[in-house]
Structure 1
Amino acid sequence: MIDDLKAQIAALRARTAPLEPGLEEREALAQRALAHAQAFLEAIPDAPSRQPAADVFLHRLEPEFPDAGRDPAAVLDYLGTCVEAPGFATTSPRFMAYIPGGGVFHAAIGDFLAAVSNKYSGFASAAPGATRLENATAAWLAEAIGYPTGAAGTLTSGGSIANLSAVVAAREARDPDGGGAVYATRFAHHCVDKALHIAGRARAPRRTVATDERHRMSPAALEQALAADQAAGIRPWLVIASAGTVDTGAVDPLSDIAGICRRFGAWFHVDGAYGGLFALCDEGRERLRGLSLADSVVVDPHKTLFLPYGTGAVLLREGQHLLDAFSASADYIRPLGDFDVGPSPADLSPELTRHFRALRLWLPLQLAGVDAFRAAQSEKLALARYFHARLSMLAGFDAGPPPDLSVVAFRFLPEKGDADAFNERLLHAVQEEGRVMLSGTRIDGRFTLRCAIVSFRTHIEHVDEAIDALARGVSRLQAP
């Protein structure tokens, strides 16, 4: 029986050989993958910013999941044609529709090395080096937004999980039994609603705070709402402000809001997923005054630090609140000892199993240096002002309020006809052209165009292209 079992095991082992390629095969595969990546990167400057989604079916793999491995060249060709090309090209310097950061190459190397080592970064005892980097990068982010010693944070998959983590920490700190009221403007990101639902606070009293002419939270309206609730016996719990709203990039008056929250004992949370990390550069720090006064802040390095998707962070001014909300253990994962590398990331977030995310942030900062990121951020803020100034000079355009950060919300006002319908057609014309990618939204019922300048690859010539694309679109639509 043992001999038969050993023979069966040997046969199964032989069939697993493709899972462990040898040195020469690894080198060949790595070189082929690198060549594929290099070709992709070299094509970015002239590639369309959007290609038809139907191209995903230009080729089909039959069967899609084969019993035996395929030729790597064929697999990479399929990947390039049917996966990388269709849809939005968020890597394009002319992609100004939404807020990705383009994906710096150094971060891809970091992801590769993290995947090869496969370090489990959840617990210090399993990977003290990885844990130290996780805590070091979170501490650097906290320092970048102006938080003092004693702050703590953790890397997440993005702003949604980061906002959820902040809401849970705020719940445990200030509203464990429920009943507290929530305050936000109509421009708060929809993931906040989802976070409140998951955290068991979907039915909390909700107050929509009025905004000013630049779509920023009104401190006077906030104070009035808090005072009214307090007088009615409803406890103010959570105030959610924005450091860069989705629609217009507006930054709420954070210092004023912080003072109001202190007076009423409310937890002050800032969703800075888009704009919070502009605090790294001088111009951004000035526009984000008061950010460091928040009890919790969400930032997304995959936006304004230009990392690949899947890199967010939640930061708390008093880090103990994260440990209080998320620390847990079990016999099978008890620490093997004490390590002077800070808390285990699993005790700071909902995640137990987690990718070694820190390397995709730590490595670019080491290889490129912080100043390169700082300069790129300043450039984006300047480019947004440039776009707004140029658009203001074009007949028929309402450039909207000057940008707080790097998003410009604007409209074309035709001399006759429905302005909303015209702007929808204008956006469609620009997108169909495929050269420049912009997006649209509705603000107070009016269809509005958006230009979001965030990619590290976007420079002044690309902004000029966006202006030219808009001008061409208007000319075509107004042609007799």
Structure 2
Amino acid sequence: MNQLTYRLEPNDAERLVVQQAIENYIQSFLTQLPSLPAFVDTPDKGAGLLESPISENPIPIDQALALLKKEVDEPGINSASGGHLGYIPGGGLYYSGLGDYLAAATNKYAGIFFSAPGAVRMENQLLRWMAGLIGFPENAAGNLTSGGSIASLIALATARDAQNITSRLIPDAVVYTTAHAHHCLDKALRIAGLGECPVRYIPMDEQYRMQPEALSEAITQDKAAGLTPWLIIASAGTTDVGAIDPLQAIAAIAREHSLWYHVDAAYGGFFALATSGKSRLAGIELADSVVMDPHKGLFIPYGSGAVLIKNQKQAAETHHYQAHYMQDALSAIEEASPADLSPELSKHFRGLRLWLPLKLHGVAAFREALEEKLTLARYAYAQLQQLPGFETPVEPELSVVIFRYVPQQEAMDTNAFNQKLIKAVQADGRVFLSSTMLEDRFMLRMAILSFRTHQPTIDLALTILQEKAKELELNWEA
């Protein structure tokens, strides 16, 4: 046998050398993290990686790690930083990384119960725990996904079949949501073959929440016109401003008209753990399906979403499969297999990256961290209201704070000023903020959801905003 094939199986000593080098790299990164910038805009943006092409011959671990550090970890947003206050920050718990290491090394196939009964039990246990958080029944269907996009696709495909939306009905099958619904939902509709469905964007109130009266009126009008309303999509934490739609009122309308009720709680769902957050999500338990992302509210690394569907039978009817080569696995029915509730067959054992930190930290630590983020958002909002020139049009319901700076000189265009302000903050690099549009207003966003973000980080961000706004006013060029 060709001895080269054995190179893929390093011995004990070789494994230890590489493992120690990687662990040293990680420990150094975590030790330095508090002083590292939250954003770095390098000239080549990691293009130096291409100067070391994939080749026939190996390179030493120290050389590989040097490439990783310079070309991958340094440029762009430092997602592990507590200064990452843009978009909706992802997590990066250390124990989750160890969970991924364990999952990859043991390589359990967690798609079907027959193959890995313990792994499937673990993932289903986590999903039942999530169901309990939002008031879903214990026997609800669920799946740990790569993120909110695939979770939304699973939910909307299930809704399509449960509502009997066949191809002939699609052009007249109406969907109801708001203009602030996440774009992955529109993408999921298109991928699920529902791109021709009319979509009604229901008006929002001054806090950017769906107006139930307008929803009810739209459904009634569409029915009178001979159309087929079938799906309402509400948000429990919009990306733009963190708004929570009136979930209970929308649920009542969905029941009245027999529509599928989906709640996108990818960002906001896990605030149900926090004492002050749970009441804000009242009504989420009335949904037919809910999406919530552990890589947001539970601080797990990117690639961790979840979908919960109240009726397991409906989810299975959309996603189950059979194949002759899988006949040995068909008798194992003690637990629902993820492959029967999702488009995925081959899948990463995602449960371990969530189970391990929950077990090692305990749920109370997550509850306290989420409560802190809600407190920090209220703090940032209150501080911005006191700062001259800053405008805060939306009171935060969760942990997104929306604002802009209105310059004193009328000759300064407010939108242009804030576009320059966000670029100045990002170029500074100590914190990273993002922006959005509210109607025709260019707004800045402070999204507070990193477990490493604490009050000194918020104070630093506020200081930088004041400094950069003052510099821009003094040196303004239209």
Taking structure 2 as the reference length, the TM-score comes to 0.96
Letter in structure 2 aligned against 1:100: P
The residue matched to 2:394 in structure 1 has which SS? Answer: coil
Q: Percent identity?
A: 47
Is 2:443 the counterpart of 1:443? no
Shift of 1:443: 1.2
Letter in structure 2 aligned against 1:471: Q
Candidates 359, 367, 380, aligned match of 1:366? 359
Q: What corresponds to 2:306 in structure 1?
A: 313
1:298–1:61 Cα change, 3 Å: closer
- The whole-number CA distance in structure 2 between the counterparts of 1:419 and 1:389 is 22
- The whole-number CA distance in structure 1 between the counterparts of 2:396 and 2:277 is 12
**1:203-214 maps to which residues of 2 (within 5 A)?**
203-214=196-207
Shift of 1:204: 1.1
Q: What corresponds to 2:422 in structure 1?
A: 427
CA deviation string 1:344-363 (max 9, x = no partner): 10000010111000000111
Is 2:157 the counterpart of 1:157? no
Q: What corresponds to 2:381 in structure 1?
A: 388
Q: What corresponds to 2:454 in structure 1?
A: 459
Candidates 27, 30, 41, aligned match of 1:38? 27
1:145–1:53 Cα change, 3 Å: farther
Q: What corresponds to 2:8 in structure 1?
A: 19
Shift of 1:89: 0.5
Shift of 1:411: 1.0
CA deviation string 1:259-318 (max 9, x = no partner): 111001111101111111111111111111101111000111001100010000110122
Candidates 234, 238, 255, aligned match of 1:241? 234
CA deviation string 1:304-337 (max 9, x = no partner): 1000100001101222221111011100012436
Q: What corresponds to 2:88 in structure 1?
A: 99
- The whole-number CA distance in structure 1 between the counterparts of 2:224 and 2:19 is 66
Point out where structure 2 has 5 or more consecutive residues left out of the alignment: none
Contact 1:258–1:290 (Cα < 8 Å) also in 2: yes
Candidates 393, 405, 410, aligned match of 1:412? 405
1:168–1:454 Cα change, 3 Å: same
The residue matched to 2:465 in structure 1 has which SS? Answer: helix
1:421–1:305 Cα change, 3 Å: same
The residue matched to 1:334 in structure 2 has which SS? Answer: helix
Candidates 99, 103, 115, aligned match of 1:110? 99
Contact 2:89–2:448 (Cα < 8 Å) also in 1: no
CA deviation string 1:440-469 (max 9, x = no partner): 111112101000000000000000011001
Q: What corresponds to 2:468 in structure 1?
A: 473
The residue matched to 2:43 in structure 1 has which SS? Answer: helix
Letter in structure 2 aligned against 1:478: E
**1:265-280 maps to which residues of 2 (within 5 A)?**
265-280=258-273
Contact 1:49–1:94 (Cα < 8 Å) also in 2: yes
Contact 2:97–2:353 (Cα < 8 Å) also in 1: yes
The residue matched to 1:399 in structure 2 has which SS? Answer: strand
Point out where structure 1 has 5 or more consecutive residues left out of the alignment: 1-9
Is 2:274 the counterpart of 1:288? no
How many residue pairs get matched? 469
- The whole-number CA distance in structure 2 between the counterparts of 1:433 and 1:175 is 53
- The whole-number CA distance in structure 2 between the counterparts of 1:136 and 1:341 is 13
Shift of 1:56: 4.1
- The whole-number CA distance in structure 1 between the counterparts of 2:47 and 2:378 is 41
The residue matched to 1:183 in structure 2 has which SS? Answer: strand
1:319–1:58 Cα change, 3 Å: closer
The residue matched to 1:165 in structure 2 has which SS? Answer: helix
Shift of 1:98: 1.5
Contact 1:132–1:341 (Cα < 8 Å) also in 2: no
Is 2:75 the counterpart of 1:80? no
Contact 1:441–1:448 (Cα < 8 Å) also in 2: yes
The residue matched to 1:427 in structure 2 has which SS? Answer: helix
Shift of 1:231: 1.7
Q: What corresponds to 1:67 in structure 2?
A: 56
Contact 1:241–1:271 (Cα < 8 Å) also in 2: yes
Taking structure 1 as the reference length, the TM-score comes to 0.95
**1:167-316 maps to which residues of 2 (within 5 A)?**
167-177=156-166, 178=169, 179-316=172-309
The residue matched to 2:208 in structure 1 has which SS? Answer: coil
Contact 1:304–1:454 (Cα < 8 Å) also in 2: yes
Letter in structure 2 aligned against 1:198: I
The residue matched to 1:16 in structure 2 has which SS? Answer: helix
Shift of 1:102: 2.6
